[in-house]
Structure 1
Amino acid sequence: MKKSLTLLLLFGYLSIFSQSKIIVKNSGDQLPVSGATVSCNNKAIGKTDASGVLNFKTKCKKVQVSASGFNDDDVVVDKVMEVFLTKSDPNIKNIQAIVLEDKSDPRALEILRKVNENYNQNSPKSLESYSFKSYEKISLDFDEDSINAYNAYIANRIDSLKKLPQRPMKATEKKDSIESVNLMKLVGESKMFLWERASQNLYSKKYGEKINILDNKVAGIKDPIYELMAFRSNRNQVPKEIREENRNLYRFFLTDSIEIEGRQNYIIRFRQVGDKQSVKQRKFNGYLYVDKETYALKKIESNSKIKSEGSITSIWKPVQEKWFLVKENYKMKMGSTSFDNDDEQDKNKTKEEKEADKQNRKRFGSYAFVTADYFDFKTPIEEKPEDFKGYTIGVKNSDGKLIDQYRTENLTARETATYTKIDSLSSKYKLNQKAKALAGLLKGKIKLGMVDFDLARLIGYNKYEHIRLGAGAKLNENFNKYISPDAYFAYGIYDKKLKYGAGVDIRTTLEKNSFFRVEYFNDVMAAGRFSENLWNFRMKIMNSGIALNNGVFYGYKGFKVSYENDITNALTVNVAAKRTQEESKFDYNFKGLGNNFDIASSIITLKYSPNSKNIMTPGGKYTYEQNLPELYLNYEQGYKAFGGTFNFSRFDALFVHNFKTKLGVTGVRLYGGMITGDAPVWKNFTMNGLGNGREGLNFNLTSYLGFATMAGGRYYNDKFVGAYLTHRLPWYFKSFGKNVSSFDLIYRGTIGDMKNPEFHQFDFKKLDHLYNEVGLEWNNFLSSQFNLGFFYRVGYYNTPQFKDNFAIQFKFKFLGF
């Protein structure tokens, strides 16, 4: 262990002080810029020679480059760097912008085509196995140029406050005033947020991916935030700048070639479409370095249009002829802060004077900084099954005591102060509790102490209850690590009835998802709902609008006992037994037996999600990356033997997948169900119509399995199959704002039958012909976070009236496919 640590420290020392070479050129004529100053933390390292070259050694992660007559720039330190400075004279910049053509260089596009073709072959995932370690650091702070200005501003502000006439203050007011000043001073002395994580990453084609958290530390937070530990970089994603579908968003220009560590590289400069004006902007948004031999990415430098808004740099290196990411450096503007004056003299100013002060008020930009280093690469590795057991992420240590062993650079004085100062405020401002509350939102919960409140139960709408108000609460791990009681209630505004339920989870282990559950309930539900067992929060929210125009409801009350267990990271099983009394809330009679029945049944549910990534938290399993394909299977068996009215068998399945080709991204949902034996209509399947079935415009919200043009509550089958197909066209564009828009072509279809519809004495139809609807969905409609879809019914159920077949659908973008 000591030898390994010594070698690691030696490697870190050599990498920190290894020699770097920077080449500085004029972005207009690409001639070298001599006498350019290269600085580290505002201290000059050296100047470029007549060839625009400087060789230097530094422990800085990033250096600044400045030259007379040019705009300053900065660059992440690498073995070889090339920087293109723009002229500071706006007239010269305008000339450069005019010369720049608004179409990509065909040579650059051909190189990028080969990069995409060879991407999988160059990826480490093409190896049989590998391992590496990583050190990542995320912080929130002012820009370096703003820190001194901020501290000067705060000092002047405090001095001016001292000179004001002292007025009588209550003890609480005086305390708040002192705390406010102290907080302002603290922000000037330390970062606002700091988090470090060290990981070991293992990969095997046979066993998959495993990430071991070696240590984790967050300023001001004592207990580990597991949801934050699961933060993922873009390490395994194809960078957006080179994706085929993003060609319309950039213009690419092959400009140069350069040798880096004995390998020749193409240099492709790119800019965003529409960036023709270079005033206060960069001429290019970034640079791509492509290895000539393998067409692998060596480096990406991607900048915002305006320099102050941020930048991203990623660097790769070859290991065993595959290209591993070795460094990431992000800087993203999060907003700006200004401070109001409380001076007595300001209160006497006119409205116009106050507005003028507001315009001239000093503002300080805050940024998120992300740095990541990947090292200690090994391939192949010994593939032991026990090393890959459990969830994707396993936590070896999380108290921050070992993090200094894995740091690839020493903390700055400002970063060290962050731990000291933020930690001192932790208990006072309850940072630990607030961080856990924010993490709970990822699961649709509000966490307050030992109680989790379920956001999904606050408000809803359906055609039976109309507005449904309610609340749900669950005692979390702060109450007990193994036992977790919960309860909920809801009230329907239209039916004026109270619904409620209560239960308790009893864990069998803290290592994985494994628990028994007992529950009692008295509630209502739309008839024929497709099973949502083991669906995640987002899927359930997306499908929650399925009953907006379905007034066919039934009531159910009873109890249920179940056991759920994650057999592997990919496979979850839930087995249950329940006894309920169920009654229709509509005019109904089944085979002359009435509308109220006792149901005794057992249920088994399987979920298979081989590519999803999970981490175990004190509050249970958290799926931090839901990857397709996924398969859901449900089988319910009804029994007369245990006091039930009927014997029946109900089966349903859902398969979800998507795949990418040169023609775009195709998404597939295939689903279906079947019931045999005797059972009331609500145990059969509704065909998930979302339409209102009335005259006028058909407008509805999307759902996971719904049909925009079909009337709700009209069709029921005892067997059916359905398909939901989407295809995203490989054409991305910008309309307004920053969001990128695209179009999806959509097809939805279903067909089924009902053997004895006469058994169910109420007004409905069976759907025994293929029901089709096609649509076009505009993603990020007008650069918003919403999608707008237009759908039309075709085929057997099409009617002569256009408005009967047409529907408009609205979807929140975050719900995804």
Structure 2
Amino acid sequence: MKLFCFVMLFFTLTIQAQFQINGIVTDPNNKPLPFATITTADNTNTITDVDGKFEFKISSNTTSFAVSYIGFQTKIVGVTSDKKFYSVALSQKTDNLKEVVVSNENPALTIIKKVIANKNKNNPQKKLKSFEYKTYNKLIVTANPDSIDGRIDTSATYKDFNKKQINIDSSDYKFKEIISKQHLFQTEKVSQYQFGNNKLKETILGTKMAGFKQPVYEIIAFNLQSISIYDSKYELFETKHQSPIADNAFSDYNYKLLDTVPIKGRNTFMIYFKNKKRKTNALEGVLYIDQENFAVAKAVMRIKAVLDISGIHEFEYVPEEKIWFQSNTTFKIVKGKNDDDIKILGGTIQFDGDVKDNYEQRKKVASDFTYLISESNNFDIHYNTNPSIKNPSLYIEVKEDANKKPEEFWNTYRKESLDIKGQKTYQLIDSLSLSKRIEKRLGLGRKIINGYLPIGPIDLDLKKVISYNNYEGFRLGLGGVTNDRFSKLFRIEGYGAYGTKDGVFKYNIGSGVLLDKNTNTWLNGSYTDDVREIASTVFAVDKRVFKIYDPRPINISTFYKYIAWKANVQTKIIPKTEAVFELARTYVEPKFDYLFNYNGQLYSSYIMTTAMASIVWAPFSEFMQTPNGRTETDKRFPRFTFQYTQSLPNVLENDFTFSKIDFKTEYEKKYLNGQKTSLLLQGGYAMGDVPITHLYNTMPNNLTKETVIQRITFAGRNSFETMYFNEFFSSQYVFFQIKHGFDRIKIMKKVRPSLVLVTRMAWGNMENPEQHVGPAYKTLDKGYFESGIELNRIFKGFGLGGFYRYGPNQLLKFEDNIAVKISYVIDLGL
């Protein structure tokens, strides 16, 4: 969701900032020199990028700058007020090159080894017991109008000096006219960071977002770059990379000593690093290493792919603590190159493809010159003060009045006053936001991704419109829930559905009242008359999953009718958890041939009065507290789900006494090479007198048909593809699944499948089988095993998978152990 919201707002292209000089540094053969050092007389410095280009802000009294590169002669370049672009060619040194010698091996490698060995001494989060500081951040999306062809005029057509008529794209005129007056987007934020007990918390004191009445909290939580340069996994634009100073970094990176330069009065080694595998999205950059204590004094991290992304970390040396502490960070997105257009939610963003034979490069349009830049400045820094951190389990907390701060607040914390262009952005952006309906479209996108379509004060539930199963046939319905336009403190929800095959109308009606906004605590009540798949496990705290097409229910034919009264409390009051506590009275009537034998009496229907507690615990996830409530901003693993259900004897005509314990553990690991491993361990234990309707079927998804072709259906998410419906039932079971997905393979331009290897296994047992009269079934005492291969997203989201059943429950005919399934993954282009 964070990535969706961010991409909806910002996609950026080529950068050329104002109030700066630009240029390129080359060798005698006119080849660019990446990461050449550019320094002014006051020791302000920068470096060229991988293409030898540079952008440099200078003061008005700067008269020259020096360009140096190891192995080349340093060149002094004069600065004139009427010149903005400088092409600097360096000459190679005629004497023998003498690198800085640290040992007999690669000097850069020796230096990096010492950086790694001294990380704990130089990392503020390891060396210092505590610290706190404030940060002012400004993010803008803008463009330099001087980069855009044409001039601002009232007409889109004019004549040059030769009276030749020239047509200018009117959209370029409009864009240039807008960008000359204001930025496309602008947001500011003031935060307080506190570190103690090995935890870092951000409290947002003020936030200001042009064009939005309410801040977009997903954007606030979006991680543009790692806060600490010492993290073993360096994060840039929500993508993690192996850090160049991680303990095992040498297996991924090559290093080269470029130069020695002074920073803040201390001498540093300038080391270039580059990924050995040369992937298109690989991390590269430059580290400035203090020659005395081998701490990072400055870092430039970059990815040059479809988007050219860079993150710069600058530090101040603190003599009292003998440590480099981060003072400024800069994040930039620049337009990169790609062969294909990228589609985002139906809107096409065009990127320049590489020039090839018989192809011409696309002509740049005005919007190609827009860019995004985010700058953060740290101040009011205190060390070892043991700050009192409220709610330390939260990663981010947004103050209630953060978006209501007066202008005096912002003038206090801004490093520089807003220029006229920045001021007009806040004044004019509201009209642009309204005309483009950005805020409305963003809200609509949020709802649709979760399966709702807002219509006035009601969000229609897209999951309820149409579905199909073998018992109801086509299930046609309509449902929804009231939204904030109706009330922020009270909600009403419900649905109605009709099955074309069983000819029965089902419905639900419910309501809820908000008890506490900060902990998202709701008190709910509902009445339901519907059907449900037998022996299916439902965790009350599971997140709602919306699929345009959910294939598994198509094959299900055994359901039970239930009429339920429920009251529950939903809450996030316990840190890093979400819980549901529920009381329910349910009338159950199996809609298949089944009787439950209880103490010699056969039940064809029964009543269950139960109390249930369900909780999901995500100890490693990051959470954000906003004025709208608490949300999980960074989903991490492992995460654990527990659910306990207890029947209540002699309460509201309850028929049976039983208990159920269900649990689930999920783990997911994403690798830097694009691969992903997912593990799922799930189990349940039913004790007492439990009808088969409320036992376990371990998610079968195979049809009882003669041939493999007849059994081809859509694959489920975590289901046994070779297990036939109603083949196994258990009162206790454990299920384990492992999936390993490889990065997508490009076979043709639009054929890029992803290979996934899958293995599933389960064991189970049935206690008191004599209680279940009617259905014939087997048990999982000896275990059930299947493995398979999925080729997902072969074309337009469609894929194909094959699975094989083996082990003690393998069937006699070879073909009966095989299942072929179609998969479908919706691609939003994110």
Identify the TM-score tier after normalising by the shorter chain. Answer: 0.7 to 0.9
CA drift of 1:727 comes to 4.8
2:728 is matched with which residue?
Answer: 715
Q: 1:275, 1:305 within 8 Å by CA — same for their partners in 2?
A: no
CA drift of 1:655 comes to 1.5
Find out whether 1:214 has 2:196 as its counterpart.
no
Q: 1:186, 1:421 within 8 Å by CA — same for their partners in 2?
A: no
2:187 is matched with which residue?
Answer: 195
Find out whether 1:238 has 2:229 as its counterpart.
no
How many angstroms apart in 1 are the aligned matches of 2:750 and 2:242?
Answer: 19
* Alignment partner of 2:719 out of 674, 689, 706: 706
Counterpart AA for 1:797: N
1:553 is matched with which residue?
Answer: 559
Q: 1:314, 1:325 within 8 Å by CA — same for their partners in 2?
A: no
Q: 2:304, 2:336 within 8 Å by CA — same for their partners in 1?
A: no
* Alignment partner of 2:760 out of 743, 748, 757: 748
* Alignment partner of 2:521 out of 489, 514, 523: 514
* Alignment partner of 1:643 out of 653, 661, 664: 653
CA drift of 1:737 comes to 6.7
SS at match of 1:415: helix
How many angstroms apart in 2 are the aligned matches of 1:546 and 1:110?
Answer: 57
Q: 1:191, 1:418 within 8 Å by CA — same for their partners in 2?
A: yes
SS at match of 2:155: helix
CA drift of 1:607 comes to 2.0
Find out whether 1:130 has 2:131 as its counterpart.
yes
1:388 is matched with which residue?
Answer: 392
Distance 1:678 1:119, change over 3 A: farther
Aligned pairs for 1:274-673 within 5 A = 286-289=284-287, 291=289, 294=294, 298-304=298-304, 309-317=307-315, 321=323, 324=326, 326-333=328-335, 364-365=367-368, 367-376=370-379, 377-384=381-388, 386=390, 388=392, 392-396=396-400, 397-401=402-406, 402-424=409-431, 432-441=439-448, 443-538=450-545, 546-591=552-597, 593-616=602-625, 620-641=629-650, 642-658=652-668, 666-673=677-684
How many angstroms apart in 2 are the aligned matches of 1:112 and 1:707?
Answer: 49
CA drift of 1:34 comes to 10
> What percentage of residue pairs aligned between the two structures are identical?
21
CA drift of 1:754 comes to 0.7
1:725 is matched with which residue?
Answer: 738
Aligned pairs for 1:125-274 within 5 A = 125-126=125-126, 128-142=129-143, 145-146=146-147, 148-149=148-149, 152=152, 155-157=154-156, 185-186=177-178, 189-205=181-197, 208-235=199-226, 237-239=233-235, 240-242=240-242, 252=254, 254=256, 256-261=258-263, 262-270=266-274
Distance 1:735 1:64, change over 3 A: farther
Deviates more, 1:737-746 or 1:611-620: 737-746
Q: 2:189, 2:208 within 8 Å by CA — same for their partners in 1?
A: yes
Instruction: Choose between structure 1 and 2: higher helix proportion.
Output: 1
Q: 2:151, 2:173 within 8 Å by CA — same for their partners in 1?
A: no
Counterpart AA for 1:192: L
Deviates more, 1:376-385 or 1:292-301: 292-301
Aligned pairs for 1:791-802 within 5 A = 791-799=803-811, 801=814
Q: 1:224, 1:399 within 8 Å by CA — same for their partners in 2?
A: no
CA drift of 1:699 comes to 5.2
Deviation string 1:139-160 (CA, Å, 9 cap, x unpaired) is: 33446554x43653x6432889
How many angstroms apart in 2 are the aligned matches of 1:763 and 1:562?
Answer: 36
SS at match of 1:586: coil
How many angstroms apart in 2 are the aligned matches of 1:114 and 1:444?
Answer: 52
Q: 2:25, 2:87 within 8 Å by CA — same for their partners in 1?
A: no
Aligned residues: 711
How many angstroms apart in 2 are the aligned matches of 1:515 and 1:715?
Answer: 38
Distance 1:779 1:656, change over 3 A: same
Q: 1:248, 1:733 within 8 Å by CA — same for their partners in 2?
A: no
How many angstroms apart in 2 are the aligned matches of 1:806 and 1:610?
Answer: 38
Deviation string 1:754-776 (CA, Å, 9 cap, x unpaired) is: 11334321233222222122345
SS at match of 1:386: coil
Find out whether 1:686 has 2:686 as its counterpart.
no
Give RMSD over aligned pairs.
5.1
Distance 1:297 1:597, change over 3 A: farther
Q: 1:709, 1:792 within 8 Å by CA — same for their partners in 2?
A: yes
Counterpart AA for 1:585: K
Deviation string 1:708-745 (CA, Å, 9 cap, x unpaired) is: 3323442211100111234567x897666799997655
Distance 1:552 1:735, change over 3 A: same
Find out whether 1:805 has 2:818 as its counterpart.
yes
Unaligned stretches of 5+ in structure 1? 1-18, 71-83, 86-104, 161-177, 277-281, 337-357
SS at match of 2:516: coil
CA drift of 1:693 comes to 4.1
Counterpart AA for 2:87: A
Q: 1:225, 1:436 within 8 Å by CA — same for their partners in 2?
A: no
1:90 is matched with which residue?
Answer: none
Unaligned stretches of 5+ in structure 2? 1-19, 40-52, 69-73, 93-104, 160-169, 228-232, 339-360
CA drift of 1:67 comes to 0.4
SS at match of 1:67: strand
How many angstroms apart in 1 are the aligned matches of 2:507 and 2:441?
Answer: 29
Distance 1:274 1:767, change over 3 A: same
Counterpart AA for 2:767: K
Distance 1:232 1:399, change over 3 A: farther
Q: 2:172, 2:366 within 8 Å by CA — same for their partners in 1?
A: no
SS at match of 1:611: coil
2:352 is matched with which residue?
Answer: none
Q: 1:655, 1:669 within 8 Å by CA — same for their partners in 2?
A: yes
Distance 1:499 1:39, change over 3 A: same
